[in-house]
Amino acid sequence: MSLSYTRMQMWDECQWRYFLTYVLEEWTAPSQHLVLGDAVHLTLRQIGDTMIAAHVTPSAAEIQGWFDYHRAACLQRADPKGLISEHAGWIAVRGTAILAAFQREVLPSYHPAEVEHEFAITINDVIFRGIIDALLTVNDGEHLLLDFKTGKVYPKDRLQTDRQMTGYLYSEQQRIGHSMVPTSAAYVFFPPCEHPEQHPDLPADHCHAAVLEVTRTPEQIAAFVAAVPQVAAEMEEALVSGMYSYTINPARCPWCNVYWSCSYARRERRIIPRVPTRPR
């Protein structure tokens, strides 16, 4: 079996959503947030690839042109019927603001050794796959792992426990072949200005780069290694038995991309404050 952080997270949050998405492969609603994330990440990859291959820093005009191209391509691919066309302007404005913050606050000291590094590690016959946004070498060989986020800043407890970063750090340990080689990690978020009324000189869409360094203990790494085969076994057992639990969450269900295939969520619609995009 092959697993990823996304699949493990979805399994933890709602097994029924996992079943609809990955087993039945039901129609999934397009999301402006996912389109934004994809377009920004593709642009950041192009920036990194250019810096690594040509040893030059791309200009602001080049970066904007790349983003405009990726934004249009991602939107067409994810939403050929135009179900979220009303959000196209927001994607353009928000993405441009994120990349402006990246250029102001990250790019001057950004020297990636690799970008979009794909890995696959085997844990008890289960293949765990992922993509690390950027790997940098700093401080006499220490590795710095970066994960760019276009959504909200994680709460402190999630920053310190999120399985995605734990898996990434473990994969680097396995690639290096020695757990004692220093490897640090950081999330890079792009939150909007918290008090825009105090900064009337800034544009309304202004945001900044929040670089939040995190660590993982050996115990956390060990717990992750144990969790991967355990989750895989639960998934295989559910596939055989057909038994998948469901979770009604008023905070998550309104944004679920398989809402219209979920009889449980529609039955509990009275407690769900927002209805996701509906297929035509």
Q: What is the mean pLDDT of residues 109-124?
A: 94
As given in the structure block, the two tokens for residue 225 are: 């290694």
Q: What is the pLDDT of residue 275?
A: 63
Which CA distances in Å does 21 have to 8, 11, 26, 47, 180? 13, 11, 6, 32, 39
Q: Is the model's pLDDT at 250 over the cut of 90? A: no
Q: Is residue 57 part of a domain?
A: yes
End-of-domain residue from the set 81, 109, 137: 109
Q: Is residue 42 part of a domain?
A: yes
Q: Is residue 1 part of a domain?
A: no
Instruction: Report the chain's mean pLDDT, rounded to a whole number.
Output: 90
By residue range, what is the domain housing residue 15?
9-25+231-280
39 and 84 part of one domain: yes
134 and 224 part of one domain: yes
140 and 217 part of one domain: yes
CA distance linking residue 210 with residue 53, whole number of Å: 27
Give the CATH number of the domain where residue 184 resides.
3.90.320.10
238 and 224 part of one domain: no
Q: Is residue 148 part of a domain?
A: yes
Sign of torsion, CA 93 96 100 101? positive
Q: Is the model's pLDDT at 132 over the cut of 60? A: yes
pLDDT tens readout for residues 148-193: 999 999 999 999 999 999 999 999 888 877 554 557 899 999 998 7
265 and 211 part of one domain: no
226 and 118 part of one domain: yes
Three-class SS state of 120: strand
pLDDT tens readout for residues 181-236: 557 899 999 998 776 666 667 676 789 999 999 999 999 999 999 999 999 999 99
34 and 100 part of one domain: yes
Q: What is the mean pLDDT of residues 125-142?
A: 88
pLDDT category at 280 given cuts 50, 70, 90 is low
Q: Which residues of 186-206 are buried (b: 16+ CB within 10 A; e: fewer)?
A: bbbbbebeeeeeeeeeeeebe
Three-class SS state of 122: strand
Please state at what angle helix 163-176 crosses helix 5-13, rounded to 10 degrees. 150
Alpha carbon 4 to its chain centroid, in Å, reads 12
* pTM score, whole prediction: 0.91
79 and 153 part of one domain: no
Q: What is the pLDDT of residue 230?
A: 97
Q: Which residues of 225-235 are buried (b: 16+ CB within 10 A; e: fewer)?
A: bebbbebbeeb
State the total domains in the chain.
3
pLDDT tens readout for residues 53-97: 999 999 999 999 999 999 999 999 999 999 999 999 999 999 999
Q: Is residue 256 part of a domain?
A: yes
CA distance linking residue 257 with residue 240, whole number of Å: 25
Cβ neighbors of 257 (< 8 A, separation 6 or more) are 21, 28, 29, 30, 31, 276
Q: Is residue 16 part of a domain?
A: yes
End-of-domain residue from the set 89, 109, 129: 109
Q: Is the model's pLDDT at 254 over the cut of 60? A: yes
User: Nearest Cα to 74, choosing from 87, 57, 61?
Assistant: 87
183 and 274 part of one domain: no
154 and 121 part of one domain: yes
Q: What is the pLDDT of residue 271?
A: 63
Q: Is residue 101 part of a domain?
A: yes
Q: Is residue 3 part of a domain?
A: no
246 and 165 part of one domain: no
Percent of the chain with pLDDT over 90: 72
116-130, 165-179, 189-203, 253-267, range with greatest mean pLDDT = 116-130
Which CA distances in Å does 38 have to 87, 92, 114, 235? 15, 12, 18, 27
CA distance linking residue 36 with residue 48, whole number of Å: 18
119 and 226 part of one domain: yes
Q: Is the model's pLDDT at 139 over the cut of 90? A: no
Q: Is the model's pLDDT at 276 over the cut of 70? A: no
Q: What is the pLDDT of residue 70?
A: 98
